[in-house]
Structures are given as C-alpha cells and as structure tokens.
Structure 1
Amino acid sequence: MNITLILFLIGILGFVLNRKNIILMLISIEIMLLAITFLILVSSLNMDDIIGQTYAIYIIVVAGAESAIGLAILVAFYRLINSPVKNPRSNYSGDPAPPSGGRGPYLHFNLLPVVSSCNLIQSRNYSSVLHRKIPTHTSCVWAGLNPSFITGFSDAEGSFVVTILKNPRYKIGWNVQARFQIKLNEKDRALLLLIQNYFDNIGYISKINDRSTVEFRVSDITSLNNIIIPHFEKYQLITNKYGDLVIFKQIVSLMLENKHTTLEGLKEILEHRASLNWGLSKTLKESFPSIIPVKRVKIENNILSNLSSLPLLPGGGNWVAGFSSGEANFFITMSGTKVWLRFSIAQDSRDILLLKSLVKFFNCGYIAQYKNRKVCEFIVTKINDIIIYIIPFFDQYKIEGSKYNDYVKFKEAAILIKNKEHLTEKGLNKIIELKNSLPPPASLEGGMNKNI
C-alpha cells in the first residue's frame, strides 16, 4: 500500500514539474496509472471471495500492459535525446554541389516522392513546353542549402560591415567591430534559419520586431575567420561585393593580431575601412583627416567576372538561383486585355558586367541603363524566352524564400498566355487575380538606354 502511494505521488510531482516536456509528462501519467493499477491489484487479491480469481488475473494483465507502455516511452525518450544531428554542410565536401548537382532531398508535406535537382546546365537550349497547371503555393522544408546558392544569395543580400565608434570605455577611445549580416523582411525568417544552420548555427537571428525585419548576424571574430570567410573563399562572390570581402578579410586579420587595441593599429584598420562600402563616416574623417584609403581590388581581377565563365562555373546554376532569390522580380503588367510578363534583375551600374553575363547565361533578355540613376537592369519580356529559358531554369534551380510564391504565380500566368487562355474571360480573370497578388513593379525613374 505504501509503495503504490509513493508511486502515485512521484507521478503527480513529475507531471507538475515537467509540464513543458510532453514525454516526461506522459511518463509521469504512466507512473500514476501504474500506482492505481497495483492498488486495485492488491485489493482484488485480498477479496478473492468477492471479485473472483478471473478478475485478479485481468488486473495482472492490465498492469503488465501499463508497464510495457511505460517502458516504450522511456525507450523513445532515450533515443530522442541521443539521436545525432547531421550537419547539412557535410553534404558539400569538395564539389560545390552533391553528385546530383542539386541541393539534396527535401521533405514534402503532400507525401510526394523525395526528389533532387538535375545536373548542372552546360547548355541553355531549353525546349520544354509547359501545359500542366501548378499550385499557387507549396509547403516544403529543405534538408539544406547548396553552398553556391548561399554565395549567390549573399551577393544579393549579404553585407560585410566594420563599425568604428567613439567609446571612452576603451583604452584608445574607439571600439572596432566586424560582422557579416543578412537583413530581410520578417516573412523570410525561415530562409535565414536555413542559412544559419548551414554555417554551423553560429551568430544569431534577431527577434520579431515592429519593423517587420529579421537579421542574421555573425560578429564573433573567430567565427568570421574560421567559418564565414573560408566559405566565401571556396565559393567565391561574383559581384563587387567580392572587393568588400577582400578588405573585410584584411581587417579581420588585423583584429586577430589585436591591432584594433592600439592607435597605430586603428589607423591601419581605418585605411582599409575607408575603401569598404561607403567609406568613412563624417566623424571618422574629422577625427583622422590623414587617412589614405587602400586600393580596392578590381572586379575585373576576379576570375569569376569573365563574361563567358558564368554558365560554366561549378555551381553556377545554384549561384544564379541564390542571387535571384534576393534580387529578381517577377511582374505581370496589363493594359486593358493585353498582358505582359517581365522577369528582371536590377543592380548598381558598377555590376553591369554581371548583368551582361546573365544575358549570355540565359541566352535571352537585354540590359537597360537609366540616365538619372546609377542603376542597370537585366530584363526578359518575350513570352517564348520566358517559357523556353526562364521557367525551365527556375524549375531546376529553385527560388527560395518568400519570392518563390511570386515565381509560382508568374509561371502560372506564363502557361495561361502560352496556351492562349488569356484570350478567354476565365483565363483573363485568373491572370488579373495573379497580378493583384504580386508586388507592384518598382519604378526606375528617368530615361532609359536599351542595349541588346
């Protein structure tokens, strides 16, 4: 009797203390049930003349079943806490992509088979004709991101930042911090979590805020030196951000030598910082007027900038998918019953070489340059080019993040137009519905020079 009471009290105590752990709660409930079962068992054995031997045997069977369930819960709990977590980066040792050339399998909630992307494209002569309707959204959880995809996305959205702020608490009166960061809209939090997971879960993801933004940031100098920089040395940046990385790496090296703790070392860091991003702030220029910026490495010196090399780069397709996930736009425009589609990627005019390489990469489109803004744009508007080149590419090398839904709607509209369904009232209404669900086209004001 005392044993059953002790078991019951242990079960209650475990239930109260482990309300946030479902497995421990179940174990506690199991202990309470065992206590009650054994209590009934003991009582029945003392009153055989009332209940009978058959009922006593039944109670014994129930007690055994309860014990088996409890043991199963304990085994499940043990396996859970001891199961290894596989590092997704282990899929990418050596080659920029798995043997299939894609990003690896993904888990799909609709019980579709596990699939992988196809091999890297060496030719741009797509010829598939699309007829099948597609859903407007999907629910997929990818097992990991391709390294070249992450580099392409970082070329679009990543930043190498070095802040130098006046702070009297430091010996030299200045505090130097270096960080790598990617800042996105809150709706892309899941994508940043995947990127953080790829980088061995270093850094941190910002909490939900009223600005609807989310940021992945790595500021630990060891993590920058051992994980972030080696990644971008192996899977190289292609835009002018490559020059930022070179300077950023030099500053990190100086900080590892503790140069940022001396005034002379700080001046050396400032010479590099003056050539990074937008240069020195007004405060830094006034405090250190004699600083001479180091020369930035020219993008032409980067072997990846060769206009003919992008289609042949190892992981080139994944880089373009990552870059497009950050910078591409999928638009549907209408005038009355006329419908146009536009796929575009806009960049600072410094990266016009990159956009010209995209014309060769996709074998279609043109470059637009704007008179009143230092912006250039890669644009594809011909429906046949969109059907033959753009859609097959992004079906193979997936857009990630919230922009994926934009692509899906864009693709559905393209199929409707290709099949002449936009000439019917039903098809036109569907395209209007798709158009209204997409972000409006960004206005690049000013005149435009069009280069084919």
Structure 2
Amino acid sequence: GVEWIGNSLFRVHLLSNFGELLKILLSINIWKFIVGWINYSGTIINQNICENKILNRESKSIVSNLPTIVKEQRIDGNRGVYLNTRSRFILRYFSINQFIKTQSNLIHKRYLTSIIENKIDHAVLRFQMNPWFLTGFSDGEASFIVYVQKSDNVKIGWVTWLAFEINIIDKDLSILKDIMSYFGVGKIYHKSNGSCVYNVRSIEEISVIIAHFDKYPLLTQKQADFLLFKAVFEIIKSKDHLTEKGFHRVLGLKASINKGLSPELKKAFPNIIPIERSQLSCDSKVTEPNWLAGFTTAEGCFLVRIINKPNNNTQILLQFKLCQHIRDEKLFRSIVDFLGCGRVYLNKRSVDFFITKFGDISGILIPLFLKYPVQGVKHFNFLDFVKVAEIKKSNSPLTEENISSIRNIKSGMNYGRS
C-alpha cells in the first residue's frame, strides 16, 4: 500500500515472514520537479518504528531466484550534510522512481547494508575479541584523558570533557575496527602521521568503556589513571563540574592523570593540590592468557638475532621481550610465575621481561600464542618467529642454506615488514 508521512510519500511493503508481517519503509521521492530531492544523495531520513510492532529480525528474500535468509538492520541514522560524519545508506533492491535520473553512486544493487564511518568500512567483524585481550591491549596502548579548555560559553569559564583513546599505526587498523565492533561506540580517525585513533567522547559512550574496565580491570598501574578518570566521569555525569567546587575537584583529579595540568591551568589555578594516585595492591598478577596476548600485541617483541662468530660459526638466537614502566615490576614478576619461565631486568625507569632459552620459547611461548594469538602486524612477526624456531629445531647443525633462509625471514620482520 501507499501512505503519506508528513510531506513525503512512502510505500509500505508487507512481506510474509514466518506467518507474520514485517514493515519496510522506502522513500520514493517522485515529485522532483515540485520539491526537489527529499533526501540528500547518499543519506537516509530517520524513521522510528515501534519495536513491539516488528517482532521478526529476519525476512525471506530472493537472490537470483534462490531463497536466502538475510538479517534486517533498522536504520537509525539521522539525515545531515557535513564532513567526516556517519553516513548510512541502503543498497538498492526496490525500484527507484523513473522521474529521478540522477542516482547516488553509493547505491549498489545488492541485498546488503553498509556503514561508512569516517571513510572506514567496519561492517565485517574480523576477530571476535576476548574481553581480557582488550584489557591487555588497553594496558599497553589506551589513554584515559581529561580535557579542560577555557570557554566564555559557561559560567565558570572552563569546559570539561573526557576521551578514551587508542592511537596505533595504520597497519594495525584492523585491531581498532575490532575494538569498535566490540564496544559498539566511538569513531576511528586517520592522522597525517601514518597513525589511526579510536576515540570515544560522549558521556553516554564513555559509560560503556567504564563498564568494561569495571568488569575486566586493567592490571598495570594504568588502573590508577582509570580510577581517577572514572571519578571525573561521575562528577560530569552529575553536572557538578559546572560548579566551582566540582570543577576544582576535577582539576585535582586531572593533576594526577598522565602529564597532569597544563602550564595554562597551573597559572590559572596555582592552589590545586593533586589527588594521590591509587596504587594497585601487590597481589595484582597475570592469570589470564588472553590478557597476555593482548598486552603482547601492544608491547611485545619477537626478535631473531644472528651472531657471526669466528670459523664461520653462526649462532641463531630467538628472544621474546616485554617492556613497561618500572612501577609495574611486580606485575612483570607475576608473568614469570604464570609462564614458569623468563627473567625480569630492571633499568633506571623501565622493567623488561625476557625469554631467551630456546626450550622455553619452543615448548611454552609458541604453544601459548598459537592457542591465544596476538593480533595485527605483530601476528605476522610471530609467525615468522615460529618459522625460524622450526628451522632451528629441525636442523642441527644449521646449514648455510638454513642460515640464508633465516636471514631472509628476519629481514622482513618488525621494522623490515612493509
């Protein structure tokens, strides 16, 4: 049938779906010569439908005369024309009115729905991310940020907002897509320096981030930053940051997060006392292999060393390394206990965890990451690491051909990987 909704004409298709009805609304836009385009090209007008009137989540469709079951996605994107915004469009199946000759090149003749988020297609979930993997990766790469900026638009003269960010190289974009798919919030941006950033800012979306880390807490001292960040979140949520007292409390919390207050804020508020950072209890330790896989994806290194000795005696060494701020020494020592191998080395400001014994690498480390894989570019470095281990394990002594193969593999690892 046909219905008028406002000033627009819509066709309501009633499809048989397991004995019940499913409604699909499509804008027809037939009077171009009177009202012009109702929809901007490549966008959709939001139509709200009561869910209790649409009980089915699947419908029957015919593709090339073959019955196919397809998921229906409810379109909830708002119409808007501005750069770098979300754009959703339905891929064409129903006929477009013949009066309109110009059709968006975004319309494809397929039974699919695509989402474009800042020019990144994240519709396909590549990796079902484990929540502990996400926490481990965040322990290495995530930032909890409190922004404070001068403004004449608010009574206290300063605006405050929060951001959860993960900034990594473009080659690992797939990891950010999986994280965004896991959380279901946020956006991904490309930067001119060859990196990409996953960013969550709205107070509603930040609550999703906080809920995750409440359930799957960070293990490094970054947990202290999270707790301070969460305290600021509660202040903003209650709108106390709009009062002088609440804003000063925000500044005290911000002073203890990351790099603290900016020179501008220190000058404007010289009497702010930083709130003491929470210290994790000494029993914080690694017990989850998925956490270790995530943290290794962020901070781990798979290294192959080739040492040329006299008399053409070439030695091949494999090493696994993790590095962190020295305040996480206890956590790193718990990795030794968890794996039953490796050693911890202290530097002036950092702590390193190493596995260098070939028996531990081939018997413990490699089986662990085959079962709980690292992700992104580092996964390919790990696979090359495994290739070298197999060559070394299967050939004793190593031949010139073996060594040449290892040199070739090593040249494409880490910084050598294009």
Normalised by the length of structure 1, the TM-score is 0.64
Matches within 5 A, 1:206-355: 206-207=189-190, 209-225=191-207, 227-300=208-281, 305-306=282-283, 309-311=285-287, 316-336=288-308, 337-355=314-332
Select the structure with the greater relative contact order (CA < 8 A; seq sep ≥ 6). 1
Is 2:251–2:272's contact at 8 Å kept on the other side of the alignment?
yes
Is 1:416–1:422's contact at 8 Å kept on the other side of the alignment?
no
1:302-359 CA-to-partner distances (Å, cap 9, x unmatched) read xxx526x533xxxx01111111110100011112221111100000001111111111
Structure 1 or 2: more strand by fraction = 2
Alignment pair present for 1:439 and 2:411 = no
Question: Out of 160, 165, 171, which is 2:144 matched to?
Answer: 160
Change (3 A) 1:251 1:328: same
Pairwise CA distance, 1:260 = 2.1
Change (3 A) 1:77 1:319: same
Partner Cα separation in structure 2 for residue 233 and residue 169 of structure 1 = 34
Aligned length: 307
Change (3 A) 1:235 1:288: same
Is 2:286–2:292's contact at 8 Å kept on the other side of the alignment?
no
Partner Cα separation in structure 2 for residue 400 and residue 358 of structure 1 = 20
Partner Cα separation in structure 1 for residue 380 and residue 127 of structure 2 = 19
1:20-78 CA-to-partner distances (Å, cap 9, x unmatched) read 99xxxxxxxxxxxxxxxxxxxxxxxxxxxxxxxxxxxxxxxxxxxxxxxxx93488799
Partner Cα separation in structure 2 for residue 216 and residue 185 of structure 1 = 11
1:64-95 CA-to-partner distances (Å, cap 9, x unmatched) read xxxxxxx934887995462699xxxxxxxxxx
Partner Cα separation in structure 1 for residue 397 and residue 200 of structure 2 = 48
Residue number in structure 1 paired with 2:154 = 170
1:177-233 CA-to-partner distances (Å, cap 9, x unmatched) read 101111100011111011000002x110103x43110110100111112x1101101
Pairwise CA distance, 1:142 = 3.8
Give 5+ residue unaligned stretches, structure 1. Answer: 1-16, 22-70, 86-139, 442-452
Partner Cα separation in structure 2 for residue 172 and residue 375 of structure 1 = 41
Pairwise CA distance, 1:369 = 1.5
Is 1:421–1:428's contact at 8 Å kept on the other side of the alignment?
no
Partner Cα separation in structure 2 for residue 295 and residue 157 of structure 1 = 23
Change (3 A) 1:270 1:75: farther
One-letter amino acid matched to 1:332: V
Pairwise CA distance, 1:299 = 1.2
Is 1:184–1:214's contact at 8 Å kept on the other side of the alignment?
yes
Change (3 A) 1:78 1:264: farther
Partner Cα separation in structure 2 for residue 141 and residue 421 of structure 1 = 43
One-letter amino acid matched to 1:221: I
Pairwise CA distance, 1:283 = 1.3
Partner Cα separation in structure 2 for residue 224 and residue 262 of structure 1 = 21
One-letter amino acid matched to 1:220: S
1:235-255 CA-to-partner distances (Å, cap 9, x unmatched) read 111000111111111100000
Partner Cα separation in structure 1 for residue 403 and residue 229 of structure 2 = 51
Q: Secondary structure at the match of 1:423?
A: coil
Pairwise CA distance, 1:387 = 0.6
Q: Secondary structure at the match of 1:415?
A: helix
Is 1:260–1:266's contact at 8 Å kept on the other side of the alignment?
yes
One-letter amino acid matched to 2:324: Q
Pairwise CA distance, 1:440 = 5.4
Partner Cα separation in structure 2 for residue 80 and residue 419 of structure 1 = 49
Normalised by the length of structure 2, the TM-score is 0.69
1:365-390 CA-to-partner distances (Å, cap 9, x unmatched) read 1111224xx01100011111101111
Partner Cα separation in structure 2 for residue 419 and residue 151 of structure 1 = 37
One-letter amino acid matched to 1:354: L
Q: Secondary structure at the match of 1:388?
A: helix
One-letter amino acid matched to 1:169: N
Change (3 A) 1:204 1:77: farther
Change (3 A) 1:76 1:173: farther
Q: RMSD of the alignment, in Å? A: 2.7
Residue number in structure 2 paired with 1:197 = 181
Residue number in structure 2 paired with 1:181 = 165
Alignment pair present for 1:147 and 2:107 = no
One-letter amino acid matched to 2:356: T
Q: Secondary structure at the match of 1:341?
A: strand
Partner Cα separation in structure 1 for residue 135 and residue 199 of structure 2 = 15
Q: Percent identity?
A: 32
Matches within 5 A, 1:50-89: 72-73=62-63, 79-80=69-70, 82=72
Matches within 5 A, 1:17-96: 72-73=62-63, 79-80=69-70, 82=72
Is 1:383–1:418's contact at 8 Å kept on the other side of the alignment?
no
One-letter amino acid matched to 2:201: S
1:120-147 CA-to-partner distances (Å, cap 9, x unmatched) read xxxxxxxxxxxxxxxxxxxx97451011
Partner Cα separation in structure 2 for residue 422 and residue 355 of structure 1 = 35
Partner Cα separation in structure 1 for residue 306 and residue 166 of structure 2 = 34
Matches within 5 A, 1:343-382: 343-371=320-348, 374-382=349-357
Pairwise CA distance, 1:174 = 1.3
One-letter amino acid matched to 1:243: A
Partner Cα separation in structure 1 for residue 337 and residue 378 of structure 2 = 24
Residue number in structure 2 paired with 1:64 = none
One-letter amino acid matched to 1:397: Y
Higher Cα Rg: structure 1 or 2? 1
One-letter amino acid matched to 2:212: H
Partner Cα separation in structure 1 for residue 397 and residue 214 of structure 2 = 48
